[in-house]
């Protein structure tokens, strides 16, 4: 894919660049919370729109590798890989259904369980404010920072126990979204910092090839937005 190739080129440029830079490698973990959103399912019986569907909180984790530049020590670039799984659990929701003949009706319905697993890969811009500089921490013992990027979200949707998508196979969506966040890093040991970070991410997920093994091989479509807040803590190696 062109995007992945572009990320690879950027990584090579970072490695091959001038030595006057502070490199960093981060690992992090935390919790993600995805806001309620409508979910549209289009299967052989017709189209169903579930209103304000709740997503489960999930484990969020990932890693980041990049560099800050000596010429502009507040500016950096990083490659970030981020995972979260905002699954839909069994719940009752308002539903508006429409059949192919054109008739529509409303009421209550159950979403049952649909697994959603998303991986976001991005090149991020990093901005920091180096504070409390010392000999042991020449770039600052305390570093508030901002980060943002335009990730490629690779999201797999797997129906489990839903009457609308019974016995359907999973499908994967590739879509660009955006994310931004901020945090605070603190120097705790030579070449080591700890940090806390908040980030917000958005992507629209749409899969069209949820194949049914029990419905003549018909395809179903699934569409929703993932607006996700994540609270993360991590370790950052600096050199």
- What is the 3 state secondary structure string of 107-157? EEEECCCEEEEEEEEEEEEEEECCECCCCCCCCCCEEEEEEEECCEEEEEE
Distance separating alpha carbons of residues 100 and 80, to the nearest angstrom: 43
Q: Which of the four pLDDT bands, split at 50, 70 and 90, describes residue 18?
A: very low
Give the SS3 label for residue 43: strand
For residue 72, is pLDDT > 70? yes
For residue 99, is pLDDT > 70? no
For residue 164, is pLDDT > 80? no
Query: For residues 16, 3, 22 and 31, what is the CA-based torsion angle, rounded to 10 degrees?
Result: -150
For residue 145, is pLDDT > 60? yes
Please give the average per-residue pLDDT across 9-25, as a whole number: 61
pLDDT number for residue 153: 98
Q: What's CA 22's distance to the chain center, in Å?
A: 27
Please give the average per-residue pLDDT across 133-145, as a whole number: 90
In-domain check, residue 10: no
In-domain check, residue 13: no
Tokens of 145: 């920072």
Q: How many domains does the chain have?
A: 1
For residue 134, is pLDDT > 90? no
For residue 168, is pLDDT > 70? no
For residue 76, the domain's CATH number is 2.40.160.20
Distance separating alpha carbons of residues 74 and 236, to the nearest angstrom: 16
In-domain check, residue 81: yes
The helices-and-strands tally (H runs, E runs) of the chain is 1, 14
For residue 45, give the nearest of 185, 234, 172, 220 by alpha carbon.
Answer: 220
Higher-confidence position of 61 and 134: 61
Given a contact cutoff of 8 angstroms between Cβ atoms, the answer to whether 78 and 123 are in contact is: yes
Q: Which of the four pLDDT bands, split at 50, 70 and 90, describes residue 1?
A: low
Distance separating alpha carbons of residues 164 and 111, to the nearest angstrom: 8
For residue 119, is pLDDT > 90? yes
- Output the CA–CA distances (angstroms, integers) from residue 186 to 169, 193, 199, 207, in the order listed: 46, 5, 18, 42
Query: For residues 234, 122, 15 and 142, what is the CA-based torsion angle, rounded to 10 degrees?
Result: -30
pLDDT number for residue 219: 72
Which residues sit opposite 169 in a β-bridge?
A: none
Range of the domain at 195: 21-238
In-domain check, residue 93: yes
pLDDT number for residue 121: 98
pTM listed for this prediction: 0.84
For residue 216, is pLDDT > 80? no
In-domain check, residue 224: yes
In-domain check, residue 64: yes
Angle ∠(56,62,66) on CA atoms, nearest 5? 145
pLDDT number for residue 12: 47
Q: Which of the four pLDDT bands, split at 50, 70 and 90, describes residue 133?
A: confident
In-domain check, residue 6: no
- DSSP annotation of 154 reads E
Matching residue, tokens 């949707």:
157
In-domain check, residue 2: no
Q: What is the mean pLDDT of the chain?
A: 86
């Amino acid at each position: 894919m062109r995007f992945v190739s572009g990320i690879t080129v950027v990584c090579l440029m970072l490695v091959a660049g001038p030595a006057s830079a502070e490199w960093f490698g981060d690992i992090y973990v935390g919790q993600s919370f995805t806001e309620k959103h409508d979910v549209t399912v289009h299967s052989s019986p017709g189209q169903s729109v579930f209103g304000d569907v709740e997503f489960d909180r999930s484990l969020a984790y990932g890693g980041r590798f990049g560099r800050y530049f000596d010429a502009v020590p507040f500016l950096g670039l990083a490659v970030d890989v981020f995972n979260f799984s905002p699954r839909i659990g069994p719940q009752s929701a308002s539903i508006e259904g429409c059949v192919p003949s054109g008739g529509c009706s409303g009421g209550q319905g159950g979403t049952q369980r649909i697994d959603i697993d998303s991986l976001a890969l991005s090149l991020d811009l990093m901005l920091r404010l180096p504070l409390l500089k010392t000999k042991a921490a020449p770039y600052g013992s305390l570093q508030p920072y901002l980060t943002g990027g335009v990730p490629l979200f690779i999201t797999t949707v797997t129906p489990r126990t839903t009457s609308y998508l019974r016995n359907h196979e999973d499908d994967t969506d590739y879509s660009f979204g955006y994310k931004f966040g901020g945090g605070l890093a603190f120097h705790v040991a030579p070449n080591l910092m700890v940090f806390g970070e908040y980030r917000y991410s958005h992507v629209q997920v749409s899969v069209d090839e949820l194949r049914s093994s029990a419905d003549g091989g018909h395809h179903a479509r699934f569409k929703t937005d993932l607006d996700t807040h994540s609270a993360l803590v991590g370790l950052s190696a600096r050199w």
